[in-house]
Amino acid sequence: MTEALLQARSLSRRYGAIAACDAVDLDLLPGEIHAVIGPNGAGKSTLINLLSGLLKPDSGTVKLLGRDVTRSSAPQRALLGMARTFQITSIFPHFTAQQNVALAVQARQGHSFRFWQPTVKDYPLNDEARESLRKVGLIMRADQRASSLAHGERRQLELAMALAQAPKVLLLDEPMAGMGREDSQRMIILLSRLRMTAPILLIEHDMDAVFALADRISVLAGGRVIANGTPDAIRQDSLVREAYLGAGHEEIADA
C-alpha cells in the first residue's frame, strides 16, 4: 500500500461541549489532491490547524513523512516539509513579489525573518525565488510591489512562497476565496499541475473547483468524517447530500 505523506489518526479537539474535530482519520498520498469539504462549522479550519500545528489535539496523532509530529510546533513541521497557505494572505505588501518569495526561501534555509536584509546581490536566492514565481505564472510581476498585485495574483504569490519552501506536502486553505471566475480557472490549472510537485490537502468552498481538482474528497460534518471517496462517489452519497441540504447548501447537488 502507498505510504501516506501526511496522516491523521483519531484526531480530536473539543471546544467545551463542541467536538470541533472528532476522531478524524485522514491520509494524504503522493501525487494526489485530497479535498476536505463540509458545511459551515463542520470543523475544516480546526482540522487544518491541527494538521499544521497551530492547534494541539486533545487526542490522536499526526504523522508527517512517517514521523510523529503531533507535539511539534508549526515552524518545526514547516522545516520537515509542510507548507501551508492561509485564508487571509500573509505577504509583505511593501516588498516586491520576488523579495516576498526570497524571504520564504531564506526561512526554509533556517534564517529568521527578523534578520532579513534586502538581498539584491544574492543571485542563487533570487534565482530560486524567480523559479517559484515562474512555476505559478507570476514571473512578469517579479519586481512589482505585492501591494500593487491584483487579488488573484496575490494568491499566486502566496503559492510561490509555499513552493519556495520546497514542500513535501501542501496544505491550502481556500485558495480560491474572493476570486472571480477567470482567476479561479487559472488557479485550478495551476493546482492541477502542482500535485506532482507535492500532494495537496485542499480546503475549499468552491465546489466547482473541488470537483474539478480532487482525486479524493473527505466530507466533514459536526467534526466527523461522514464520507470519503472519489468525487463521483461523494456526489452520490446520501449522507453528504443530507448534511449539505440540511445546512442550507445546495452546491453539492449542482457540482
What residues make contact with ligand ATP under the rule CB under 6 A?
15, 18, 20, 38, 40-46
For the bound state, the minimum distance from the C-beta of residue 228 to ligand ATP, rounded and expressed in Å, comes to 16
Q: Whose grid coordinates read 485550478?
A: 188
- Cell output for 113: 525573518
For the bound state, the minimum distance from the C-beta of residue 14 to ligand ATP, rounded and expressed in Å, comes to 9
For the bound state, the minimum distance from the C-beta of residue 19 to ligand ATP, rounded and expressed in Å, comes to 8
For the bound state, the minimum distance from the C-beta of residue 225 to ligand ATP, rounded and expressed in Å, comes to 12
SS3 145: strand
Question: Between residues 15 and 113, which has the closer beta carbon with respect to ligand ATP?
Answer: 15
> What is d(CA 63, CA 65) in angstroms, rounded to the nearest whole number?
6
CB 210 within 8 A of CB 35: yes
Residue 96 DSSP label: B
CB 62 within 8 A of CB 70: yes
Q: Whose grid coordinates read 516576498?
A: 100
Question: Between residues 44 and 168, which has the closer beta carbon with respect to ligand ATP?
Answer: 44
> What is d(CA 24, CA 225) in angstroms, rounded to the nearest whole number?
6
For the bound state, the minimum distance from the C-beta of residue 105 to ligand ATP, rounded and expressed in Å, comes to 30
- Cell output for 109: 534555509
Question: Between residues 47 and 213, which has the closer beta carbon with respect to ligand ATP?
Answer: 47
Question: Between residues 18 and 226, which has the closer beta carbon with respect to ligand ATP?
Answer: 18
> What is d(CA 60, CA 12) in angstroms, rounded to the nearest whole number?
6
SS3 11: strand
Question: Between residues 17 and 196, which has the closer beta carbon with respect to ligand ATP?
Answer: 17
Q: How many CA atoms lie within 13 A of 34 on its CB side?
A: 26
Question: Between residues 20 and 162, which has the closer beta carbon with respect to ligand ATP?
Answer: 20
For the bound state, the minimum distance from the C-beta of residue 153 to ligand ATP, rounded and expressed in Å, comes to 24
